[in-house]
Amino acid sequence: FQKALATCLAKAQAVLVLEEGMSVAPDVLWYFAQLHSVLRQDASLLCISAFNDIGLAPYIADPTVVMRTDWFSGMGWMVLTDTLRDELLPEWPSSSWQQLFRDDTFRRNRQCLFPEISRAVPTEGATASLVLSAASSAPNYEMPLAGSTKGARPVSYDWAWRQMPLCVQPRVDLGDVTRLMKTEYWQLFLEDWPGEGLKNAKPVKTITSFADETLSSGGPWRLVYRGRNEVEDGAWRSVAQLFGLPAELPIRAAYFGVVRLRWRNSVLFLVSTPKGARDAATALVMHDPWAVVLPHFHAHVITPALFPSMRQPSLVPANGDIISALAPGTSCSEVCRQSQMSCITEDLHFINSCGPLEANFDCQGGCEPSEGPEQPAMIVESRKPGKCVYNTDVSKHPPSCDAVHAATKRLCACRRTDSAAGISASAAASTASDAAAAVPAPTAVAKPRAKAAAAAVAPAEKATPAAPAKAVAKDGASAEEGSPAPPPTTQPRQGPSAGATAAATGAGAKAQAAGTRAAQFGSLGKKLLEANAALPLPPAPPRLVARLPDSGDGARRPRAPLLLVTTGRSGWQLRKCLASLAAAAGFDAKRVLVAQDGEGQEAKAVAKDEFRVSWVQNPDTDLKLPFGKRASAHHRFALGFALETHFPAAKTVLLIEADVIVAPDFFSYFFQLEPLLETDPTLLCISAWNENGLGPYVADPSALERVDSFSGVASLLSVDLLRRELLPAWPASSWDAFLRAEAKRTGRQCLVPEMPRVHHVGEASEDMAKSSDHIITRDAGMFFDASSELEAVDLGDTSRLLRQEYHRRFLEDLAAAKLIDDVDGLPSLYSSTTSAVATTPPGGAGAGGAGGGAAGTGASQGGDGITSVNPSVVSYRLHYQSHRPESDGSWKYILEYFRLTDTPEPRGLYKGVMKLRWGEGHLFLVASSSPLLSEAPLAGLALPQQWAMPSTFKEVAAPLLVAPRAAVRQARVEGESCTAACRDDGRRCVDADLAFVNSCEALRRFHFCEKCSPSMGSDQPALVTRLDSPSYGMCLFNQDLQRYPPSCDGAHHNTRRLCVCRPRW
């Protein structure tokens, strides 16, 4: 090994080790290719493994799920050549080389990635080294006879990997692999894995719950057992024997001592307490959620001494069931097919005992050992009718889904067809020697995406959260022009997904089956299903984002230092914020100061140790103060320390809250606008946040507006103004309201982007009237895009934003807008007919308009589809009665109608006028008290004969909000994500857009369905199209945006997603 590995050092960035006698999956090379970037970027990773030490058939289902572990399996692994050269080879032992990787001194808390479904397993012809490696992790499993009351000896499986399926898909898309980075995976494992996070797990209150099948539904579950030390304690052995897992220590495939298993239709966590779990919390990245979760774990702790007396639970396939044949001579393949399910050989090992037989057959003749691949079974035609038999020689007679016997009824383990799509018998896999020939080289590897959260998979049935999914991929890999078409791809479901993926069926068979089932649903249902099966889309226009020229050294950053304000409680938020800042071009750690309020060492460790930025703690923190007063005092301290001590020469300062992440062009954005703040005394700030930046109102990344309110979160401020006016008068409470007050603004304004450059990741707000649920619901609709196409957006000629020039253009645009007499006259944002020709860019008037962007000219579109469109590029204005929108109550009617952020006063007004993106143009909402109306005669602005009363907004149905040139369409097949559906049409999906079609009213008005029902899941809204589902033909919408925020990557095997597809940038 040492000599072989040494030869790989010269040319490669990483080394992938496969051995003779190892069976590998067809996608093994593609699997490693997708994960290689994570290994390079994450210093907390030691290796990538292709083997799951606990990947027994009942505990696996999804080929897209990848996890982290503290264990090194030693089979099918990849390591960086730098690690190999500098650390491994100099210490290479003379024997038991695997132990070098497992040694705590060498490992230094580094972890490995491994798949839920193995990509490599040993075979009976394995080399001695491989056998030793495998045996050290799975030496002769002893599977107790499940449910047996006869006291018969356990069945010994000499090769445990006979029961470990391999992935058989030729190309599985793992989704957004950045979710596997150290911090992102911790949050995913703990909480963000929708429906399956450890924090969401329900306690197993008694060990008998496994015997009485109490845990057959619901979940996720956590089994907490009492143990002292996961390395030395024997408690794990009792737990492992109950579940048929390797009993040796340290625990295989554990993540900080916690084992995660797929259990029936959900997940089961095996957790040791008190010391094991507490040490896990300390050893990991000290996240607040552990402190929240762990105390509850002690409420229901099971003593390991009870485990040996418990019979082993029936290990039912994930997303499957145990089904008995109705007639003798019927194979399990046929039994499962009749139930619209599938049989895989590995599942049969786990029902091969008396327990499952006696639970499913009336074994009047008893239960006894036998031999044969058609067993377990019950004899019905012989001298021993009613006798149940199980196979005691699985080496000589391996179980077979196709085996039959004329005298017996088989007992079968069946999976849902989609759960079996990615796995099958090991014998069907290729070997390591022909892996390279079996797997085509990828033409493009998926880029890191913005959110770690995932392709959320949630249930198709009402109010039953199921499989998770956090990979939130914004952009997928595509084959280069002229390259051969790639093989079929399994869509990611962990992404965050843990649900099994669905396989597409033939179009003809699908249409025939849909027709039969739709006939039962009704003629209208049939018509809708056929019409929406694959809506044709207009061709996507060319990309519209103008990019800045390459800066050479990449130092396109503002001169302003960055002051990041945080609390001592929000270490994980601070980490996410700093990570996004560090990933943005122009980041300079030496120009960042983190100011911490409150006690706690986590924020300090994150700032100084992980990101090596400066840190200071407020010494005068008063924990007894109300939040508003405490926040105001801390901001005063932070600004004072930064300007007087840390950055005394700064002319501007960039103030940012720690509960946000930033866009790739964050520094470039401020770099282009900073000169305006230094030269225009009428500017109070330049903000990266737009409180009206909801998905349908965002289209142009280069567009900016002047507004009369202070927009916090991330703002560039003048140091001179702070020292001269603001800090001397700093309030004792509500500092942001202080900056919004007209008396303090004195007519000054802020610049805000149409497209926000920051996105909230927290649940707190300084507006104490707002709950965390309100904040999360608001943020679900806020536009944010961290794709690489936006890493250098050219904002154009920023002189258009100077006070006089902006005002002139704004008046011209307002006068040119078409006057609407009342709310009923507002044009729809979508059309179900042919879309129109777009002749100007999304900025409406282009760079010539007030605040218009630098984007290029749009292209014509054509074709049928439900498409966001205006008959021509027209802006509109609607005048409403209000003597003061900030205080007379008129604004509440408008914000509800347009689904704007619920704030006490309007945000984003320019002299009493709200400007919103409306299709290809804009909508101007003009208050009767707007000072701009005094300039109407000079500007040629025609005034209405009567003003719309604010109450009329409540009397008219709210509009369907769809982004400009977006198409609302149905996914082509069940289990397809919106990311994939849009990408295939040359378009893209943005999470925020989905929140605005997530209602029965919207789904019906789009004519996708005639029946609609509330449900839960990030894969919704969706249309149930699985024929055997009781909800067939029904639309489901997501009623729990807090737990299941909209995700373009979500998918479910029962449904076709309803997607909003935008043109690409």
Stated as kind and residue range, the H or E segment containing 413 is strand 408-416
**Residue 820 pLDDT exceeds 70:** yes
Alpha carbons 830 and 37: distance in angstroms, whole number? 41
Tens of pLDDT, residues 197-220: 888 888 888 877 776 666 777 778
CA distances from 759 to 588, 716, 785 (A): 21, 17, 9
Of residues 409 and 472, which shows the higher confidence score? 409
The token pair at 388 is 């149940």
Query: Are 714 and 662 in contact, with CB atoms under 8 Å apart?
Result: yes
Confidence of residue 641 (pLDDT cuts 50, 70, 90): very high
Question: Using an 8 Å Cβ cutoff, are 419 and 437 in contact?
Answer: no
Find tokens 């945006």 and name the residue: 1041
pLDDT for 122: 80
Looking at residue 25, what is its pLDDT?
Answer: 92
Q: Is the separation of the CB atoms in 392 and 367 below 8 Å?
A: no
Q: How many CB atoms lie within 10 A of CB 140?
A: 11
pLDDT recorded at residue 569: 63
Whether residue 66 contacts residue 113, with contact meaning beta carbons closer than 8 Å, is answered with yes
DSSP state of 111: E
Q: Which residues pair with 98 in a beta bridge?
A: none
Looking at residue 238, its pLDDT comes to 83
The Cα–Cα gap between 798 and 227 comes to 64
Helix/strand/coil for 269: strand
pLDDT at residue 668, rounded to an integer: 92
Spatial separation of the C-alpha atoms in residues 672 and 557, rounded to whole Å: 9
Crossing angle of helices 275-283/288-297, nearest 10°? 180
What average pLDDT does this structure show over 241-265? Answer: 85
The pLDDT confidence band at residue 147, using thresholds 50, 70 and 90, is very low
What pLDDT shows up at residue 330?
93
Cα gap 584→791, rounded to integer Å: 8
Per the listing, tokens 């264990």 go with 71
**pLDDT, average across residues 780-792:** 84
Bigger pLDDT: 569 vs 1025: 1025
Helix (H) or strand (E) holding 596: strand 592-597
Contact 1050, 455 (CB under 8 A): yes
Rounded CA-CA distance 233/257 in Å is 12
Three-state DSSP state, 634: helix
Residue 149 predicted with pLDDT over 70: no
Does the CA dihedral 890-895-896-897 come out positive or negative? Answer: positive
Give the pTM.
0.53
Higher pLDDT, 448 or 819: 819
Q: How is residue 494 annotated by DSSP? A: B
pLDDT at 453 over 70: no
Looking at per-residue confidence, does 343 or 228 come out higher? Answer: 343
Q: CA-to-CA distance for 590 and 612, rounded, in angstroms?
A: 8
pLDDT reading at 842 higher than 90: no
Q: Cis ω on the peptide bond leading into residue 944 (within 30° of 0)?
A: no
Q: Report how far residue 732's alpha carbon sits from residue 265's, in angstroms, rounded to the nearest whole number.
A: 53
Residue of higher predicted confidence among 786 and 279: 786
Q: Dig out the tokens for 430 from the structure.
A: 């290729």
DSSP 479: P
Please answer whether residues 363 and 386 qualify as being in contact, where contact means their C-beta atoms are separated by less than 8 angstroms: yes
The three-point CA angle 159-160-166 to 5° equals 110
Per the CB < 8 A criterion, the answer to whether 491 and 980 are in contact is: yes
Residues 6+ apart with CB under 8 A from 887: 905
Confidence class for position 233, pLDDT limits 50, 70, 90: low
User: What confidence category does residue 32 fall into, taking pLDDT thresholds of 50, 70 and 90?
Assistant: very high
Q: Once rounded to an integer, what is the mean pLDDT over residues 774-781? A: 69
* β 45-49/111-115 pair status: parallel
SS (H, E, C) 132-199: HHHHHHCCCEEECCCCCCCCCCCEEECCHHHHCCEECCCCECCCCHHHHCHHHHHHHHHHHCCCCCHH
- Report pLDDT for 336: 92
Angstrom distances, CA of residue 74 to CA of 47, 78, 107, 254, 554? 10, 10, 14, 15, 41
Quote the CA–CA distance of 900 and 915 in Å, as a whole number.
12
CA 1039 to chain centre: 18
Total length of the chain: 1065
Pick the more confident residue, 619 or 834.
Answer: 619
What residue type is 682 in one-letter code? T
In 3D space, the residue among 719, 693, 720 whose CA is nearest the CA of residue 780 turns out to be 693
Strand, coil or helix: 921 = strand
Residue 636 — very low, low, confident or very high, per pLDDT cuts 50/70/90? very high
- CA 7, 12, 14: angle at the middle one, nearest 5? 100
**Looking at per-residue confidence, does 825 or 612 come out higher?**
612
Pairing of β 388-391 and β 660-662:
unpaired
Which residue type occupies 485? Answer: A
User: By three-state DSSP, how is residue 61 classified?
Assistant: coil
Beta bridge partners of 389: 368, 377
Minimum mean pLDDT range among 180-189, 415-424, 493-502 = 493-502
Asked whether 592 and 561 are in contact (CB, 8 A), the reply is yes
Parallel/antiparallel/unpaired status of strands 683-687 and 714-718 = antiparallel
Look at the block and give the residue holding tokens 């008893």: 366
Q: What is the mean pLDDT of the chain?
A: 75
State the amino acid at position 619 in one-letter form: P
Q: Which of 1007, 1011, 1065, 1064 has the alpha carbon at shortest distance from 1037?
A: 1011
| pLDDT per position as a tens digit, 945-959 | 888 888 888 888 888
Mean pLDDT for the stretch of residues 111-128: 78
* Pair 832, 685: CB distance under 8 Å: no
Integer Cα distance of 892 and 884 in angstroms: 12
Q: What is the pLDDT of residues 541-562, one digit of tens each?
A: 444 456 565 544 445 678 889 8
| Rounded Cα–Cα distance for residues 850 and 706 (Å) | 9
Does 935 have pLDDT greater than 60? yes
Q: Greatest CA span in the chain, whole angstroms?
A: 107
Residue 460 pLDDT grade (very low, low, confident, very high; cuts 50, 70, 90): very low
Give the integer Cα–Cα distance in Å for 869 and 832: 9
